[in-house]
């Protein structure tokens, strides 16, 4: 019997649709290093337009997009970047900005909502007068939506305020916008308005938008020109990439409108999970497509055990702590999958409780 | 000065290349000797893109494979098609494991940085090799590895005694970096696609072992070398700890390279690939095309070499042109001074006639050309893949590097 699998580990697991596959098969291509692959050019122009920036650059991953952005803004040796202590760049990108780029990170505490206090950001900016002992702050990074803080959205007002701080101090602002479209949809703010204050944004196409591969960096013409060169240096200069860009263009068209429904399913699942005795979800924190599930002691189970039990039912999730699980919704998870997942959670938790004689 | 012209040949079976005659005076001579080409007049009806073997476009079979590829998240787990490709490549190359990467540059960068993962490392490589000249100095600017160059001979080798002399004496370590790696390049692009023999490679391998160093081969065109030498590719690279192999050049896949090496090397390489940003998700889409390319096109490399030799012979017979001996799919053509025409002009004239070429003069190092420093010349990179498919279209203006 074919087991039903509901893969809630991440929105990166989305597989290309029939339309994407057809687009990939028929894509017009060229050598993107020698010149410009025409489909890549089309995607990059389109993304730049959507994000309200001058130019765009297709890259193999969000990690490379952030790495390039930080390294281009901080191209002088002795640079420092301010970013959240719990941001993706700081936690999940192998420390590449330092180990490869020689940039020093200065972390500021992320609040539960993904923001950093403005006064703490400002306090972290190095005083140029002390430069004999300090690195030079050049960049502030925000993350929207904020992955480790439950996919929460940074408002346009907050983003603008951080932008003002950067301008006041002659710094740049980069937004890790892997899930920026989720933020835009959830906030009801056009995406170009949302990132208006930013000098650069990295946007993932392979997450909720569902393309098989890639991200796009957007910024000024001169920024993107430098980014293109650094992309080559890092080894991201691919040849006939129109194939992947064709899928990304389809993703933009087809799946952007589906993000709202991903958020609805997330809220449905969150409410349902919160009702299960032994589990707790801060439902008010579920703003987009990410849910963190706390496993209460009374449940008698742990994150590892629950993950394993659920896997046997065909539900795949990520364990993010001893008693914490992460669930991510995407367009290839149906409402019926959500209901199925809920029933499996209930069974798994009940099963444990029965084991423990509860 | 050397100008690069890359030639893609139409399949020679009863089809011809239309080459415009015009005011380009030596085309008259050209046509006399090229009786296998018919020469058309005036209008450019087709483009012959000879800039590089990277311009190869995916075939129908590749496109079909891409459209139906079985995929999964290659970061969270394993994309099954990428896994199949990596397994196949490891087997072919006689190594334990393999890793698919977006480009040859990343293949080499990862390999150097993984072998030289300790701060203060040095790598010995040719002064005219691709890693040193055309990879943005990434091993240093990104990886902090110090390069120690040794003169490349015109056949792509480096003298063994010069390599050995370049290895840092550990007793001098207070002032020296630590040599950890030697890199070879096979075929050697800047030397005209010359092959390094298995014997030479083995000798360098022995030297590496003697001094407890690793050996990496930039094998972007290793299959060309294997075919030209008649040596199985796994035998050719046996002495190497790692090899980077391009699938997007003569093999014709749209994207990617594969690094091969030991299991532990590849495990580290995978992590560094993620760090560099090369961790792609449903990468099976492009791995599927690469699998088709491996199946379909390795067998065609010999014919690319034949066509290259044909072109070389034809050009060599023209007064004012001189062609180095050709071993694989790359042809260097030098324009002797008496021709009184610059490389740039020739490149332009050719482009007007639908032949896209590359001017690579500044990349040549002087020592090879002491006797012809005053000449302009055309560097010819001969790549037949596109023409093999008979796919041509109107010229779009190619940006010259």
* Distance of alpha carbon A96 from alpha carbon B142, whole angstroms: 10
A1 confidence band (pLDDT: 50, 70, 90)? low
Can you name the residues that pair with B296 across neighbouring β-strands? none
> With contacts defined as CB-CB under 8 Å, which chain A residues touch B82?
none
Q: Mark which residues 138-167 of A lie under 8 Å from B by CB.
A: none
Q: Which residues pair with A59 in a beta bridge?
A: A215
Whether complex ipTM tops 0.90: no
Q: What is the domain partition of chain A in residue ranges?
A: 18-254, 258-353
Closest Cα in chain B, distance from residue A46 (Å): 22
B285 in contact with A, Cβ within 8 Å:
yes
Supply the pLDDT for residue B16.
22
- Range with the lowest mean pLDDT among A200-204, A317-321, B283-287? A317-321
* Edge-to-edge strand list for the sheet holding A324-328: A279-280, A290-295, A324-328, A318-321
Contact status of A91 with chain B (Cβ, < 8 Å): no
Q: Which residues of chain B are within 8 Å of residue A235 when distances are taken between CB atoms?
A: 101-103, 105-107, 109-110, 138, 276, 278
Name the percent of chain B lying above pLDDT 70: 78
Q: Do B282 and A240 touch (CB under 8 A)?
A: no
CB contact under 8 A, A25 and B72: no
CB contact under 8 A, A100 and B73: no
For residue B41, pLDDT beyond 90:
no
pLDDT at B320: 79
Would you call A237 an interface residue with chain B, using a CB distance cutoff of 8 Å? Answer: yes
Distance CA B344, CA B351 (A): 11
Residue B322 to residues A198, A218, B146, B169, B376: CA-CA distances in angstroms? 55, 47, 37, 43, 11
User: Residue A140's pLDDT is what?
Assistant: 98
Tell me whether A101 touches chain B (CB under 8 Å): yes
Q: Tell me: pLDDT of B223 over 60.
A: yes
Q: Which of B54, B254, B359 to mutate to test the interface with A (most CBs of A within 10 A)?
A: B254
Cis peptide before A84 (omega within 30 of 0): no
**How far apart (Å, rounded) are the C-alpha atoms in residues B113 and B121?**
9
**Looking at the complex, does the CB of residue A216 fall below 8 Å from at least one CB of chain B?**
no
The listed CATH number (3.40.640.10, 1.20.140.150, 3.40.710.10, 3.40.50.300) that belongs to domain A18-254: 3.40.640.10
Helix (H, G, I), strand (E, B) or coil at B288: helix
B 157-196 near A (Cβ less than 8 A): none
| Segment A47-79, tens digit of pLDDT | 999 999 999 999 999 999 999 999 999 999 999
User: Comparing C-alpha atoms, which of A307, A290, A299, A346 is closest to residue A10?
Assistant: A290
Tokens at B215, concatenated: 């050996």
Q: Does A10 touch chain B (CB under 8 A)?
A: yes
Task: Let me know if the fold of A18-254 is the same as that of A258-353.
Answer: no
For residue A62, the chain B residue with the least C-alpha distance is B277
Check A233 against B254: CB less than 8 A apart.
no
Dihedral, CA atoms, B4, B10, B13, B18, nearest 10 degrees?
A: -90
Question: Chain A contact for B103, CB < 8 A?
Answer: yes
Residue B38: per-residue pLDDT: 36
Residue B390: pLDDT band with limits 50, 70, 90: very low
User: Mapping DSSP to helix (H, G, I), strand (E, B) and coil, where does residue B185 land?
Assistant: strand
Secondary structure, 3-state, A319-358: EEECCEEEEECCCCCCHHHHHHHHHHHHHHHHHHHHHCCC
Long-range contacts of B72-75 (CB under 8 A, 24+ apart): B72/A13, B72/A15, B72/B282, B72/B284, B73/A10, B73/A12, B73/A13, B73/B281, B73/B282, B74/B279, B74/B280, B74/B281, B74/B282, B74/B283, B74/B284, B75/A12, B75/B274, B75/B279, B75/B280, B75/B281
Mean pLDDT across chain B, nearest whole number?
80
Interface subset of A 275-334, CB within 8 angstroms of B: none
Looking at residues A23-29, what average pLDDT do you find?
97
Nearest CA in chain A to B107: A235
pLDDT digits (tens, 9 = 90+) for B182-200: 999 999 999 999 999 999 9
Give the total residue count for chain A: 358
Q: Do B73 and A12 touch (CB under 8 A)?
A: yes
Is B142 within 8 Å of A100 when comparing Cβ atoms? yes
Q: How many CB pairs (< 8 A) connect A and B? A: 171
Q: Topology of A258-353 in CATH? A: 3.90.1150
Split at pLDDT 50, 70, 90, the class of B179 is very high
Specify the range with the lowest mean pLDDT, choosing from A8-22, A224-238, A304-318, A343-357. Answer: A343-357
pTM of the entire structure?
A: 0.84
Contact of A67 with chain B, judged by CB distance below 8 Å, is answered with: yes
Per residue in B336-345, is it b (16+ CB within 10 Å) or e — as a string?
eeebebbbee
Where helices occur in B167-262 by DSSP H, the ranges are 198-210, 222-229, 233-236
């Amino acid at each position: 019997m074919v087991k039903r699998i509901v893969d809630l580990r991440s929105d990166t697991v989305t597989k290309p649709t029939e339309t994407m596959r057809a687009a990939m098969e028929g894509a017009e291509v060229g050598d993107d290093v020698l010149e410009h692959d025409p489909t890549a050019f089309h995607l990059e122009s389109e993304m730049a337009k959507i994000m309200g920036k001058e130019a765009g650059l297709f890259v193999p991953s969000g990690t490379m997009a952030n790495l390039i952005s930080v390294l281009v803004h901080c191209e002088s040796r002795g640079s420092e970047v301010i970013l959240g202590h719990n941001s993706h760049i700081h936690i999940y990108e192998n420390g590449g900005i330092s180990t490869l780029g020689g940039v020093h990170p200065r972390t500021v505490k992320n609040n539960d909502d993904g923001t950093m206090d403005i006064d703490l950001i400002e306090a972290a900016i190095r005083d140029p007068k002390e430069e004999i002992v300090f690195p030079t702050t050049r960049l502030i990074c925000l993350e929207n939506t904020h992955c480790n803080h439950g996919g929460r959205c940074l408002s346009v007002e907050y983003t603008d305020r951080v932008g003002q701080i950067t301008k006041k101090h002659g710094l740049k602002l980069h937004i890790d916008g892997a899930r920026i479209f989720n933020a835009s949809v959830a906030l009801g703010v056009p995406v170009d308005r949302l990132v208006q204050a930013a000098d650069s944004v990295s946007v993932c196409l392979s997450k909720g938008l569902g393309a098989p591969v890639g991200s796009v960096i957007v910024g000024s013409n001169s920024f993107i020109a430098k980014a293109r060169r650094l992309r080559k240096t890092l080894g991201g200069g691919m040849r006939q990439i129109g194939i992947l860009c064709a899928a990304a263009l389809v993703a933009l068209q087809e799946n952007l409108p589906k993000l709202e429904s991903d958020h609805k399913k997330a809220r449905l699942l969150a409410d349902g999970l919160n009702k299960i005795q032994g589990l707790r979800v801060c439902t008010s924190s579920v703003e987009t497509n990410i849910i963190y599930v706390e496993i209460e002691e009374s449940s008698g189970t742990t994150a590892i055990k629950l993950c394993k039990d659920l896997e046997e039912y065909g539900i795949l999730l990520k364990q993010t702590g001893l008693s914490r699980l992460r669930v991510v919704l995407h367009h290839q998870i149906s409402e019926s999958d959500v209901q199925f997942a809920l029933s499996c959670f209930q069974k798994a938790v009940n099963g444990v409780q029965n084991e423990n004689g509860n | 000065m050397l100008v690069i012209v890359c030639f893609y040949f139409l399949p020679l079976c009863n089809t011809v290349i239309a080459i415009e005659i015009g005011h380009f005076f030596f085309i008259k001579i050209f046509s006399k000797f090229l009786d296998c080409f018919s020469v058309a007049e005036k209008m450019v009806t087709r483009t012959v893109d000879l800039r590089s073997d990277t311009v190869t476009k995916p075939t129908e079979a590749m496109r079909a494979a891409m459209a139906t590829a079985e995929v999964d998240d290659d970061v969270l787990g394993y994309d099954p098609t990428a896994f199949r490709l990596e397994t196949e490549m490891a087997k072919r190359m006689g190594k334990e494991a393999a890793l698919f990467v977006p480009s040859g540059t990343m293949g080499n960068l990862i390999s150097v940085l993984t072998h030289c993962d300790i701060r203060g490392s040095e790598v010995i490589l040719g002064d005219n090799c691709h890693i040193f000249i055309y990879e943005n100095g990434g091993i240093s600017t990104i990886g902090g590895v110090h390069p120690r160059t040794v003169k490349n001979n015109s056949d792509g080798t480096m003298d063994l005694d010069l390599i050995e002399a370049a290895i840092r004496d550990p007793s001098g370590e207070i002032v020296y970096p630590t040599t950890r790696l030697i890199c070879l390049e096979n075929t050697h692009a800047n030397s005209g696609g010359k092959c390094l023999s298995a014997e030479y490679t083995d000798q360098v391998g022995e030297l590496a072992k003697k001094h407890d160093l690793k050996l990496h081969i930039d094998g972007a065109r290793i299959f060309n070398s294997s075919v030209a030498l008649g040596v199985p590719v796994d035998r050719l690279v046996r002495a190497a700890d790692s090899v980077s192999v391009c699938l997007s050049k003569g093999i014709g896949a749209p994207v990617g390279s594969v690094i091969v090496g030991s299991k532990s090397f590849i495990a580290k390489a995978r992590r560094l690939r993620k760090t560099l940003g090369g961790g792609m998700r449903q990468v099976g889409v492009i791995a599927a095309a690469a699998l088709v390319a491996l199946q379909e096109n390795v067998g065609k490399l010999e014919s690319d070499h034949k066509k290259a030799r044909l072109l070389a012979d034809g050009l060599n017979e023209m007064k004012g042109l001189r062609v180095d001996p050709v071993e694989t799919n790359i042809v260097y053509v030098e324009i002797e001074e008496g021709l009184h025409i610059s490389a740039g002009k020739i490149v332009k004239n050719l482009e007007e006639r639908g032949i896209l070429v590359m001017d690579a003069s500044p990349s040549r190092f002087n020592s090879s050309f002491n006797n012809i420093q005053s000449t302009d010349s055309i560097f010819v990179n001969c790549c037949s893949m596109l023409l093999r498919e008979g796919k041509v279209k109107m010229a779009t203006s190619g940006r010259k590097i």
